[in-house]
Amino acid sequence: MHLLIIGAAGMIGRKLAERVAVTGRIGDRAVDTLTLADVVEPEAAQDFAGTRHAVTADLTEPGTAERLIGARPDIVVHLAAIVSGEAEADFDKGYRINLDGTRALFDAIRLTDGYAPRVVYASSLAVFGAPFPDVIADDFHLTPLTSYGTQKVMGELLLDDYSRRGFMDGVGIRFPTICIRPGRPNKAASGFFSGILREPLNGQEAVLPVDEDVRHWHASPRSAVGFIEHAATMDTAALGSRRNVTMPGVSATVGDQIKALRQVAGDATAALIRREPDPTIARIVGGWPRDFDTARARDLGFRAETSFREIIEVYVEDELDGKLPSG
């Protein structure tokens, strides 16, 4: 089976590729060919036992999508995007990458005769817009309040329609905010949710730009990989015409995050968080959803953490070799 991961140099793409390299599988399906694509050449999964291809590819460039699809991969995982803050700051770039690139990929699949792969599309909670009920169900209307969210809604609708027409067998997964993200901060408006935990757990000071009562929906990188693996191999008959699903997660305030950090790593670690309000970030995050009823996703077999302490413990185990900061 041939697996193509587009956006493989990003955090989730790298982790998925490394998982496939270790297990030789995605979900319950054996992988013998793994193609990793991104705008920079991916470096992950060097030890994959099967055939590995790493390619530099920009979906917005003519012919790129056709080149990637020419090998007719059985499963296509589409993670390539620019994140929320950058898409809001650069309108043209956001639409070019998040919408035009997605349309180019889907059309390359559509125009390949006798070919209808499983396509896993990475969407976002940004497809929803305020005002919200206390708990948001899967059938809540899609009225995004950012350009990024609008681009993701368009991608979801394309996925639904192309799947309905039989061009692909699509599953759209609306990721929670993935926390704690390892590595360097990115340009996502949500980046501080990871930063206020990651930096202190690495013995560094972190900046908190919003109030502690800000509440949001979270899951770990480990869960993110699990979502993709399940979406790649699940029976899609249960989805019907509603191909996009909000993933399980943990609803927590920033205060809850800090409390969990203190419980896991102690007061000295939590004290490394510095309050520095940023009205722009606060405005963007203030329009985001806070809590979800994800019974549909759970019924379909998707799983995530059940407490924020568990999310921190996953980071310590996966990224810090189980070792907490001293002091």
β-pairing, 206-208 vs 177-178, is unpaired
Angle of helix 308-319 relative to helix 191-201, nearest 10 degrees, comes to: 60
- Render 62-89 in DSSP notation, one character per residue: TTHHHHHHTT--SEEEE-----HHHHHH
C-alpha to C-alpha distances, 32 to 20, 78, 81, 116, 169, nearest whole angstrom: 10, 19, 26, 19, 21
Residues sharing a CB contact under 8 Å with residue 23, sequence separation 6 or more, in sequence order = none
Structure tokens given for 122: 């990475």
The answer to whether 95 is a known catalytic residue is no
Matching residue, tokens 């979906």: 59
Distance of alpha carbon 191 from alpha carbon 83, whole angstroms: 10
- HSE (side-chain half, CA atoms, 13 Å) at 128: 28
The single residue of 95, 121, 148, 162 carrying the catalytic annotation is 148
The reply to whether omega before 12 is within 30° of 0 (cis) is no
Annotated catalytic sites, by residue?
148
